[in-house]
Structures are given as C-alpha cells and as structure tokens.
C-alpha cells in the first residue's frame, strides 16, 4: 500500500516535471530564428528594426520620395553623414513618427508595410522629392 502511494507520487512528480519541460522545449523548437537587429553608431532614429525590416524601410524611402539610395547616401558608404539629404530624411522620419503617434496610434502596419505607421513618406511625397502643396492649375 505504502509502495503504491510512493509510485503514484513518483509518477505525479514525473508528469509535473514534463509539464514544465515539454512546453519550453516545444516553444524553443517552433520559435522562428530571429533576424539580427540593424545596429550602428550612425543609426540614430530607425532603431530596433531587424535587418530585413531596415532594408525594406530603405526601399520604402526610395519609392516614397523618388530618390535612389544615392539620393541620401554617399557612394560606397551608407554610414557616412556627408550627404545633407540624410539629415533631412532623419527629421522627416521623426516628423512622420510624431504624426502617427499622435493621430493614428492604433494603426499596426502589416508585414512588408513601412514600420512608421499609417502616414508614410509616400503619403506626402507620392514618389517626388518635393511634395505638392497645391493642385496643379486647371488646364
């Protein structure tokens, strides 16, 4: 009788142990490999993005403002601060973020969309460096 109770205890202890270990193991197995975070001394506003997200954001910039990579960067050195458009673009990122935070805080960008939010570079620029402030004159 005593030994039966001991066995039951032992089995219960084993089941309890597996209940703890198995989900942790399953989680470790199914968790997708997290891509590295894009980090650099000269990445000062677009922080916390994964490398693929960062690259996608740069492509959104190209489409949004109608400049190629060289429009904001110096040839052969993306970290360089020599191109003055890069500093302008940084302020634009901050402005866009501020607009989203204040007016569209609930918006969650879908996969592949700009991480900035509902308002993007494209919203104003529509593929041109200088956004229009007025409609073109009537023909």
Please give the structure tokens belonging to residue 60: 């959104």
Instruction: Give the count of beta carbons closer than 10 Å to the beta carbon of residue 96.
Output: 20
Which residue in the set 53, 89, 100, 117 belongs to the binding site for ligand HEC (CB under 6 A)? 89
User: Which residues lie closer than 8 Å to 119 by C-beta, 6 or more apart?
Assistant: 96, 99, 100, 103, 104
Binding mask 100-129 toward ligand HEC (x if CB under 6 A, else -) reads -------------------x-x-xxx---x
Pick one of 50, 56, 78, 115: the residue that binds ligand HEC (CB under 6 A). 78
Supply the Cα-derived Rg of the chain in whole angstroms.
26
3: left (phi over 0), alpha (psi -120 to 50) or beta: alpha
SS3 134: coil
For ligand HEC, which residue of 86, 113, 115, 118 counts as binding (CB under 6 A)? 86
What is the smallest separation between the CB atom of 111 and ligand HEC, expressed in angstroms?
19
Residues that bind ligand HEC (CB under 6 A): 40, 42-46, 58-59, 61-62, 64-65, 67, 69, 71-73, 78-79, 85-86, 88-90, 92-93, 96, 119, 121, 123-125, 129-131
């Amino acid at each position: 009788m005593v030994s039966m109770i001991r066995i039951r205890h032992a089995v219960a202890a084993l089941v309890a142990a597996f209940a703890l270990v198995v989900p942790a193991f399953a989680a470790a197995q199914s968790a997708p490999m997290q891509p590295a975070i894009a980090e650099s001394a000269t990445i000062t506003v677009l922080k916390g993005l994964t490398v693929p997200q960062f690259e996608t954001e740069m492509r959104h910039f190209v489409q949004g403002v109608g400049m190629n990579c060289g429009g904001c960067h110096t040839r052969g050195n993306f970290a360089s601060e020599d191109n003055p458009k890069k500093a302008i673009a940084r302020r634009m990122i901050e402005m866009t973020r501020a607009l989203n935070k204040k007016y569209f805080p609930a918006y969650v960008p879908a996969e592949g969309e700009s991480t900035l939010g509902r308002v993007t570079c494209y919203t104003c620029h529509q593929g041109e460096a200088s956004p229009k402030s007025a409609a073109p004159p009537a023909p």
